[in-house]
Chains A and B, each alone.
Chain A
Amino acid sequence: MSQTVDKPSVEQIWEWLDAVPDPEIPVISLVDLGIIRDVAWDGDTLEVAVTPTYSGCPATSVINMDIETALRDHGLDNIRLKTQIAPPWTTDWLSDKGRAKLEEYGIAPPQPAGGPEKCPHCGSKNVTLVSQFGSTPCKAHWRCQDCLEPFDYFKCI
């Protein structure tokens, strides 16, 4: 209890985590991606609940390391990371800021219809699926029929 004054607020910690980039798509933060599920103090230990995007995503261990490094850089030593798989991650948890940044970066953001709304390069709606799987588990591979550029689409799950 005597330590309370030294503990940064949960809001402050969310802000710090919002500055940690996703290792595969560095334009969005881990908070934008919606994989940080909870930040809470348990006594003097900070507990961060993280959910994987896809169960086999190889970035998961790098993400955990990045979270720990960022929090240590802010002076926190007592950190516990918890993997939480339920409820399962959904692209609905992507922030609006994250969606906008994805599109700017050339990745079409997820759409409930199951395919990209438009080409992230030229804006054409004349797009076609190349493969349900792309460069990472969370993306599919599409092509624009007008500007002929291939692009990644963030799959809606």
Chain B
Amino acid sequence: MTRDEAFTQFLLRMGDNTLILGHRVSEWCGHAPVLEEDIALANTALDLIGQTQMWLGLAGEVQGEGKSADDIAFLRDVWDFRNLLLVEVPNGDFGRTLMRQCLFDAWHSIQLGHLMKSSDERVAAIAAKASKEVAYHLERSADTVVGLGDGTEESHRRMQEALDYLWPYVGEMFQSDDVDAEMVKAGIAPDPASLRADFDALIGRILTEATLTIPDSAFGHKGGRTGKMHTEHLGHLLTQMQWLQRAYPGAKW
């Protein structure tokens, strides 16, 4: 694997995370429990899709095959996606959506903090831009997780169920492979495993305040960021997201 091949994989991982989560969150548009939450979810999705354009745009540039961010987003199939499994699982109820957002935002904010110091100035610029937006995402998702976790009996029960369901997807964020080793060597990105302590401290504070208990299990699903084994849910998501390009290949307007 050359450095640019590894770099492309790294950029796909960043861009596919924001793309797939952005799409998932956008599925709430018009369906959220109250108007303010509907607007907040749509805004979060919008930020994530905006960040996707930058990450996948750079992925296309580094790959050097003349592909645009749109080509990469709409003309690949499941096995080419490099997002974490966490972001492709279905939304579930509002509580699970916000719990997933909080887990992702916590990791995302720490990751972007490191990427702002990347040796590649394009990566550093995207990270600096995105981290301002992600600070707001985290503030909101953490507030909501605390509000619902330390809320009524039912909201507490649902948030604990959400955490129990999603926790096995957390470990994949911190798994390192050859791509990561190459990125560390080039000074482009940190070793994912090195972010774990900061993540545990941050998410631990939020979940304690939310009166929720982290499941006592080290089991972790994996296969998303390597593309080896996505869940069955990603294919269904793509049939929606890529419908237009699949029905009318090359359509433009």
Residue of B at shortest CB range from A51?
B129
Q: A54-B133, A55-B129, A58-B46 are in contact. Are A85 and B39 (CB under 8 A)?
A: no
Residues of A15-32 at the interface with B, using a CB-CB cut-off of 8 Å, are none
B128 CB to nearest A CB, Å? 5
Q: Mark B32-55, 1 if CB is under 8 A from A, else 0.
A: 000011011001101111110110
Main secondary structure of the interface of A (DSSP, over half): loop
Q: Which residues of A contact B132 (CB under 8 A)?
A: 88, 90, 157
Report the separation of the CA atoms of residues A151 and B49 in the bound assembly, to the nearest whole angstrom.
27
User: Which of A56, A57, A131 gathers most chain B CB within 10 Å?
Assistant: A56
Interface size class of B (residues with CB under 8 A): 20 to 34
Best-surrounded residue of A55, A57, A85 (most CB of chain B within 10 A)? A55
Tell me if A141 is interfacial: C-beta within 8 Å of chain B. Answer: yes
Contact B128–A52 (Cβ < 8 Å):
no
B157: interface (CB < 8 Å): no
A104-157: which have CB < 8 Å to B?
Answer: 130-135, 137, 141, 155, 157
Residue of B nearest to A57 (CB): B50
Q: Is the CB of A85 within 8 A of B36?
A: no
CB–CB A56/B51 < 8 A: yes
**A75 part of interface (Cβ distance < 8 Å):** no
In the complex, what's the smallest C-beta–C-beta distance from A93 to chain B, in angstroms? 13
Asked if B44 and A133 make an inter-chain contact with CB atoms under 8 angstroms apart, the answer reads yes
Cross-chain pair count, CB within 8 angstroms: 71
Task: Tell me whether B50 and A88 are in contact (CB under 8 A).
Answer: no
Answer whether residue B136 sits at the interface, using C-beta atoms and an 8 A cutoff: yes
A1: CB under 8 A from chain B?
no
- A131–B46 Cα distance when bound, in Å, is 16
Which residue of A is nearest B22, CB measured? A56
Question: Is the Cβ of B47 less than 8 Å from the Cβ of A54?
Answer: yes
Q: Which residues of B contact A89 (CB under 8 A)?
A: 129
B140 in the interface, Cβ–Cβ < 8 Å? yes
| A87 touches B (CB below 8 Å) | yes
B128 touches A132 (CB 8 A): no
From B36, B121, B125, A131 is in contact (CB under 8 Å) with: B36
Residue ranges of A at the interface with B (Cβ–Cβ < 8 Å): 52, 54-58, 85-90, 130-135, 137, 141, 155, 157
Extra inter-chain contacts (13) besides given A56-B51, A135-B39, CB under 8 Å: A54-B46, A56-B49, A88-B128, A89-B129, A131-B36, A131-B140, A132-B139, A133-B40, A133-B43, A133-B44, A137-B47, A157-B132, A157-B133
Q: List 22 A-B contacts (CB under 8 A).
A: A54-B47, A54-B133, A55-B47, A55-B50, A55-B51, A55-B53, A55-B129, A55-B133, A56-B47, A56-B50, A56-B53, A57-B46, A57-B50, A86-B121, A88-B132, A89-B129, A90-B132, A131-B39, A131-B140, A133-B39, A133-B44, A137-B133
Q: Top 9 closest A-B pairs, CB basis?
A: A56-B50, A55-B50, A86-B125, A133-B40, A56-B46, A131-B36, A133-B43, A88-B129, A132-B140
